[in-house]
Structure 1
Amino acid sequence: MDIKTASALHRLRLISVPEALSFPALLIFGSVLSRVSDIDYLMMPLGVIHGILFVIYGVFLLDVWFKAKWPLKKVALFFLLALVPFGGLYGDRVLKRDESAGVLAARAREAARA
C-alpha cells in the first residue's frame, strides 16, 4: 500500500465516526427537541451539519475507491453503512484493520529491500 492509499483510508476513518454519530446525536436529538419544545429553528443547522459530514464521507469514499481499487461491493457496503445509524462505527473498525495490515505490509517490503 502506498502513502496516498494509506492517507485516503485514514481520511475515511477520520470522517466515518463523526458521520456515524451525527445522525443519532444531531438529527434524532433535534427532532425530539423540536417536538417537545418550541425550538424549531435548531433542526436546520443540525441537518446541514449532518449533510456536510455525509457529503465529505461520500467524497472520501470515492477517493478510497479509486486509490485502493476496492471492488464495487465493498464500496456499496461502506455507502450503506453511512445510511445506517452507528454503521460508520463498524466501518471504522474494518478500516482500522485494513490500514494496520497495509502498514505492516509496507514495513515488510521496506525490510526486504534493506
Structure 2
Amino acid sequence: MLSLLNSFRIVALLEGVSYILLLFIATPIKRFAHDDTYVKIFGMPHGLLFLAYIVLAIMVGKELKWKTRTLFTVLIASIIPFGTFYIEKKYLKNKAL
C-alpha cells in the first residue's frame, strides 16, 4: 500500500508532467495550428492532478509538520513550470512518513 508521502510524490510528478505538456505542447498547437484538441485532452487530467496535489500537499505538510513558509512554497510550486520537480528534490527526496 502506498504511503501518503509516496502518493504525493507520484501525484507531484504526474502534475508536473501534465503541466509541461499543457504549456509547451498543447497550448502552442492551439495557438499556431488553431486546434484545441490537445488542450481538451491534457486540460482535465491536469486540473484533477492539480487539485490532488494541493490536497495532498496540505496533508503531507501536516504529517511532516512543515512551517507555513514551506507549505506555501510547495503550493506555489504547482503553478510554476518544473516547480513540482524542484519540490521533490528539495523537500521530499529523503523524507519518510
TM-score (norm 1): 0.72
- Are 1:43 and 2:39 counterparts? yes
**RMSD of aligned alpha carbons:** 1.9
Change (3 A) 1:27 1:48: farther
Alignment partner of 1:69 out of 65, 72, 83: 65
| Range that drifts further, 49-58 or 14-23 | 14-23
| Offset, 1:82 | 1.0
For 2:93 and 2:50, the matched residues in 1 are separated by: 20
Q: How does 1:57-96 map to 2 (within 5 A)?
A: 57-94=53-90, 95-96=92-93
TM-score (norm 2): 0.82
What's the counterpart of residue 55 of structure 1? 51
For 1:28 and 1:50, the matched residues in 2 are separated by: 13
Q: Which amino acid aligns with 1:96?
A: K
For 1:44 and 1:27, the matched residues in 2 are separated by: 13
Structure with greater contact order relative to length (CA < 8 Å, sep ≥ 6): 1
Query: Deviation string for 1:14-69 (max 9, x for gaps)?
Result: 11111112112123311111122242243233221111110010111111122222
| Larger-gyration structure (1/2) | 1
- Total equivalences in the alignment: 95
Q: Which has the higher helix share?
A: 1
Q: How does 1:18-37 map to 2 (within 5 A)?
A: 18-37=14-33
Q: Which amino acid aligns with 1:29?
A: I
What's the counterpart of residue 97 of structure 1? 94
Task: List alignment gaps of at least 5 residues for structure 2.
Answer: none
For 2:95 and 2:8, the matched residues in 1 are separated by: 12
For 1:27 and 1:45, the matched residues in 2 are separated by: 13
For 2:73 and 2:89, the matched residues in 1 are separated by: 14
